[in-house]
Amino acid sequence: RETSRTDESIIFQQYLPIVPGQYVVSVAVRDEGSARNGQDEMLVTVPKFAANTLSSPIAVYEADLRGSRDSIPDIVANPRATVVFGRDSIVQLYLEGYSLPSDARVRLAAHNERGGTVWQDTATLGAGGMLRAAVLRVPVSRLGVGRLTFAASVIGSTDTVRTPLFVTFGEDWAISSLDEMINYLRYFASASRLQSLKDTSAEKRAVAWAAFYRDTDPDPRTSEHEALRDYFNRIETSNLRFREEGTPGWLTDRGKVYVTLGDPDQVLEQGDVNSMGQRGRAQIWTYAQHRLQLVFVDQTGFGRWRMTSSGEMAFETVAARERR
């Protein structure tokens, strides 16, 4: 799936034979059509694969099992280790074991950001001698939403290998925690419903998220949750249109209205809205369906648009009906 995408996502993979130890990996990217460039560094520890140990799990889209330690892995990595809740049924993880006993079993678990266990199971790796491997398939419906840690260990061993996983509502939103997801959904669902999700225990959270997803999906016949897709698209658009100094666009007054209700049917402007420094500029947004008219005023002249108090009250009344 990843290699056939039509957007600009690119997976670059290159295998390097290196001895165990600590390394600093530096990656630089340069756009040949401009002077833009970027660079990042990270510390990587390459372990010594002793007997009865496991490799670090790797999130993958596709993988063929290696037959020997001197062969090159044949995998297509999931570089962000991200799956979409409600769309993807499983997350695949490639795992190897080295010189394991013939009867060895591996304990698997997924933990949320608070350390609670949301899923656990055991597995055996494929038959082999010094190298045994498997592609593990973890059900996304059991994981819930947010940042997770996948852990694996040989039963009877104290060594545990881990890798991060992200379960989100869209590929463009790698939300790293439950609190962050709840924050992003503030204009989508009611405060009481979001608080209920937040208060759900780790063991029941995946079921609660599944119910939330199902109950708010406008068309369960499709694989995509159109309401969430459109909602997050409006957040992205708001960040481009309505950003104010120190405040992301979706958290401004105009952004809040746009994310909740979408484009207004009509926008009237008073004063020169393109002239910075002019106080009292105003925008009047009209939503005919809701019989709603909202006035935003730039009282300082520096692009800090504020909704009038009467408009705020009228908007919250409409928003309460729209939120799920």
Over residues 70-79, the pLDDT tens digits come to 888 899 999 8
Does 250 lie in the same domain as 162? no
Does 157 lie in the same domain as 90? yes
Query: Can you give the residue range of the structural domain that contains 254?
Result: 227-322
| Residue 185: closest CA among 146, 134, 138 | 146
Instruction: Identify whether 216 is part of a domain.
Output: no
pLDDT given for residue 7 in this prediction: 47
Q: Output the DSSP codes for 135-204.
A: EEEEEGGGT-SEEEEEEEEETT----EEEEEEEESSTT----SHHHHHHHGGGTS-HHHHHHHHHS-HHH
pLDDT given for residue 273 in this prediction: 57
* Global pTM exceeds 0.75: no
Instruction: Identify whether 312 is part of a domain.
Output: yes
Torsions phi, psi for 283 (to 5 deg): -125, 135
Does 164 lie in the same domain as 72? yes
Does 246 lie in the same domain as 159? no
CATH code at 160?
Answer: 2.60.40.1930
Q: Which residues of the chain have pLDDT under 70?
A: 1-11, 171-176, 272-278
Give dist(CA 78, CA 161) in Å, integer. Answer: 18
Does 148 lie in the same domain as 60? yes
Q: Are 66 and 96 in contact (CB under 8 A)?
A: yes
Instruction: Identify whether 94 is part of a domain.
Output: yes
Instruction: Identify whether 186 is part of a domain.
Output: no
Tally of structural domains, the chain: 2
Structure tokens at 68: 């020997």
Instruction: Identify whether 62 is part of a domain.
Output: yes
Give dist(CA 154, CA 106) in Å, integer. Answer: 4
Q: Of 149, 168, 187, at which residue does a domain stop?
A: 168
Does 129 lie in the same domain as 56? yes
Q: Of 151, 168, 185, at which residue does a domain stop?
A: 168
Instruction: Identify whether 189 is part of a domain.
Output: no
